[in-house]
Amino acid sequence: MPPLSLIPAKMLTQRTAPYLFLVPVLLFGLVFFALPLAASLYLSFTSWNSLVSPRWIGLANYEHLFTRDPLFLKTLLNTLVFTVGVVGIGVPASLLLAGVFSRSRYQALWRSIYSLPMVTNVVAVGFIWWFVLADPWGVLNRLLALIGIAGPAWLNDPSTAMIAVVMVFVWMHLGQNMLLFSAGLGAIDESLHEAARIDGASETRIFWSITLPLLRPTILFVLITSVITAISYFALILVLTEGGPVNSTNVTALYIYGMAFTDLRLGRASAAAYVLLVVIFLVSLLQLRVLRRGGVEAY
C-alpha cells in the first residue's frame, strides 16, 4: 500500500512547501482578522442597524463623528487622558516593583500576589472597588473621615471619576507588566552591574546608565502593549461607572460599544472603530520610531 499522503508529492516543492504549511495560520488570519476588518470597513460607509440590510451612505458616518457628534471628540480626549494616566503611572510603578522584588527573598510570593488581580474577573474587581470607593460609606472615605478628611464622591464626581478608574486599572494590570519587567531585569548580565560598581558608580547611576538602556526592548514592548490595551479598553469602566458621571469616563471604545449594541448604529460604530484603529496604529508607529534604537534593533 502506498504511503498515505493528503498532498500530492508534485505540490511539495521547496518553493511551495512553506506556504502550504502556513495555510492553517493564513486561513485563521483571513477568517478571524482580514475578513472582519474588511467587513467593518465596508460597514463604516453604510447605515446599518442589524435588522435590515446595510444602506451605502459614503463618508456620512465619518462626517457625523467629526462634525456633528457631540460626544465623539470628547471620548477621544477621555481616551487620551485614560491612556496617559494608566501608562504614565502603571509602567513606572510596575518597573519599580519589579526592581524591588528582584532583590527580595520572596520574589515568587510577591509576584504571585501582585499577579492575582490579573486573573480575577473584571466584574469582581469592579464590585470590590465599588465598595472601596463608594461615597459616603465606602472603605476609603470611611478611613479618610477618621482623620478628618471629607473624601470625594470618587465614582460620582466628574472631577474624580477618571482618577478613580485609572487607579483601579493600574492596580489591576500592575502584575502583568511587573512580570515582564522582572523577566527583562533577569536577562541583564549581572557582571555589567558589578563592573560599574567596581568603577565607583552609584546605584542611581547604574540604574540610569546600565539597567534602563539594557531594558529598552522590554520597555518598548510594555509601552506598546499598554498603550494599545488602554486605548481600546472599556470593560472595567463599563462595570465601575458606565462612562459617567456626565460622560467624564466615557472613553471611545465604550462609546463605540454603546453605539453598536445599545443604539444599534453598527455602521457609525464601525467608522468610529476605524478612527480608533488609525489612532492606535499612529501611536504605535510613533513609539516604535522613538524607542527603536536599543529597542527592537537590540533583539
Residues in touch with other proteins (CB under 8 A): 1, 49-52, 68, 70, 134-136, 141, 145, 148-150, 153, 156-158, 244-247, 258, 261-264
User: Closest distance between other proteins and the C-beta of residue 161, in Å?
Assistant: 10
Residue 245 C-beta: closest distance to other proteins, Å: 6
C-alpha to C-alpha distance for 279 and 114, rounded to whole angstroms = 31
For other proteins, give the closer residue by CB, 72 or 181: 72
CB of 298 to other proteins, least distance (A): 46
Q: Do residues 274 and 41 make contact, with C-beta atoms less than 8 angstroms apart? A: yes
**Shorter beta-carbon distance to other proteins: residue 182 or 248:** 248
Alpha-carbon span 85 to 118, nearest angstrom: 19
In angstroms, give the least distance from the CB of 107 to other proteins.
41
Nearer residue to other proteins within complex by CB, 9 or 51: 51
Task: Pinpoint the alpha helices (H) of the chain.
Answer: 17-29, 35-43, 60-63, 72-102, 107-115, 122-133, 139-146, 161-186, 190-198, 203-206, 212-214, 216-231, 235-240, 252-261, 266-291
Task: Determine the Cα–Cα distance for residues 279 and 298; give it in Å rounded to an integer.
Answer: 26
User: Minimum CB separation from other proteins for residue 112, in Å?
Assistant: 35
Nearest residue (CB) to other proteins, 168 versus 227: 168
DSSP class per residue in 159-176? TTHHHHHHHHHHHHHHHH
State in angstroms the smallest separation of the CB of 260 from other proteins: 9
- The rounded distance, in Å, linking the Cα atoms of 155 and 161 is 5
User: 134 or 279, CB closer to other proteins?
Assistant: 134
Of 130 and 207, CB closest to other proteins: 130
Residues counted in the chain: 299
Distance from chain centroid for Cα 80: 12
Q: Single out the residue of 119, 220, 118 nearest to residue 175, CA to CA.
A: 118
Question: 251 and 234 in contact (C-beta within 8 Å)?
Answer: yes
